[in-house]
A and B are shown apart, each in its own frame.
Chain A
Amino acid sequence: MTRTGIIAAAAGLAAIVLVLAVVPGMRDAGYIIRAYVIAAVVIVGYIWFLAGRLDQAEKGREARQEDGAP
């Protein structure tokens, strides 16, 4: 769990809350809600895992540098 991942998840959640607060009264609301929620989940999910992979890679590099590797 990284700071970038948590911020992205919070932003995605806020976007979903906005969509759920505003869209339900509209025509074809179900399609609009699904489009925004799925887009938010896919993008936030990617950022979450990318931030995790980057964090791990950086920790690995720091560990190698402490061991004396270039």
Chain B
Amino acid sequence: MLGTVVLFVVVAAIVIFVLVYGMRLVGMSEAAMRRAVMITGALGLLLLAVGLYLGLVWAPTAQIMGDAYRIMYIHFPSWVGTAAGYLTAFVASVLYIRTRKYGYDYVAVAGAEIGLLFNVVGLITGALWGRPTWGVYWTWDPRLTTTAIMAITFAGYLVLRAFLEDPEARARVSALVAIIGFVNVPIVYFSVRWWRTLHQVQSSPDTIDPPMVLALRVMMIAFVVIFLFILTQRFMLARIRGEEELEAVRLELAGD
């Protein structure tokens, strides 16, 4: 468990570092960066096609749950995307607070927005899996409730950013909100162990049929690659808008 968390943090730090400094360090042109993003997107699509085939056609039907379990192949990777997004926002926010470099703020908003996208997909697919297995779309189970709170927190983060006009104040306040909001992520993860209610605890690959594990791993890798593709695009957008905004502030100050 600790190893997985450390791995996630290291990967998030590398992604942030590459996004903020990568182009300058390796002298990568914007066209080359764009090509790299497109190759990432194509790889993501290829993995997704293979994963969908493995999950929907190749993997066997579950003994007790039947075919409804196949929602797992989209539900679980959505949570990987959610965790990756919020973790990216958290690490980038910490780095922004320490360095005050706007590049980290751009990565943070990209991570939070994409984390929320996958969070919404996870909630919808979870509800559609819950109905045939639990008999209800929604219940105030601790896992579901903490997950909904997590979505509301990061939606609030994005709304807050829209209301703050000063770039420095927006970056600082939203970084604090992302850091505080991230506290809920480990609570979501451990909620199924702390409060043993309706949602099952995390399964071990040892107890699952190997074809199911393979299909799930391919879908998880596909979602991580797609996450990186979307994150880079969103970062590029945030950077262009941020630079525009800072330029406008500079011109305004020069005019005074």
CA distance A53 to B233 in the complex (A): 10
Measured CB to CB, the residues of A under 8 A from B are 4, 7, 11, 14-15, 18-19, 22-23, 26-29, 31-32, 34-36, 38-39, 42-43, 46-47, 50-51, 53-54, 57-58, 60-61, 64, 69-70
B residues less than 8 Å from A18 (CB atoms)? 52-53, 56
A10 → B minimal CB distance (Å): 9
Smallest distance from the beta carbon of B17 to chain A beta carbons, Å? 22
Q: A27-B66, A27-B68, A46-B117 are in contact. List 11 more A-B contacts (CB 8 A).
A: A15-B48, A23-B70, A29-B67, A38-B128, A39-B125, A42-B124, A51-B233, A57-B237, A61-B240, A69-B247, A70-B247
Docked CA distance A32–B241 (Å): 39
* Interface size range on B against A: 35 or more
B71 touches A31 (CB 8 A): yes
Residue contact A38 to B67, C-beta cutoff 8 Å: no
| Residue pair B124, A39 in contact (C-beta under 8 Å) | yes
Partner of A19, one of B56, B61, B241: B56
As a 0/1 sequence over residues 3 to 18 of chain B, the CB contacts with chain A under 8 angstroms (1 = contact) are: 0000000000000000
B41 at interface by CB-CB < 8 Å: yes
How many inter-chain contacts with C-beta < 8 Å in the A-B complex?
98
Asked if residues B129 and A35 are in contact (CB atoms below 8 Å), the reply is yes
Give the A-binding residues of B (Cβ under 8 A): 38, 41, 45, 48-49, 52-53, 56-57, 61, 66-68, 70-71, 74-75, 78, 117, 120-121, 124-125, 128-129, 131-132, 226, 230, 233-234, 236-237, 240-241, 243-244, 247
Q: Which of B48, B70, B244, B247 has the most CB of A within 10 A?
A: B70
Contact residue among A19, A28, A60 (Cβ-Cβ distance under 8 Å from B132): A28
Could you show 26 A-B contacts with beta carbons less than 8 Å apart?
A7-B45, A11-B45, A11-B48, A18-B52, A26-B61, A26-B70, A28-B67, A28-B132, A29-B67, A31-B68, A31-B71, A31-B132, A32-B128, A35-B75, A35-B125, A35-B128, A35-B129, A36-B71, A38-B125, A42-B117, A43-B121, A47-B230, A50-B233, A53-B237, A61-B240, A69-B247
A16 to chain B, nearest CB (A): 10
Contacts of B49 in A (CB 8 A): 14-15
Residues of chain B lying within 8 A (CB to CB) of residue A34:
128
CB nearest neighbor in A for B74:
A39
Given known contacts A28-B132, A31-B128, A42-B117, A50 and B240 CB-to-CB distance under 8 angstroms: no
Query: Which chain B residue lies CB-closest to A40?
Result: B74
Shortest 8 CB-CB contacts between residues of A and residues of B? A26-B67, A28-B68, A27-B66, A35-B128, A57-B240, A28-B132, A35-B125, A54-B237
User: Which of chain A's residues have a CB closer than 8 A to the CB of B128?
Assistant: 31-32, 34-35, 38
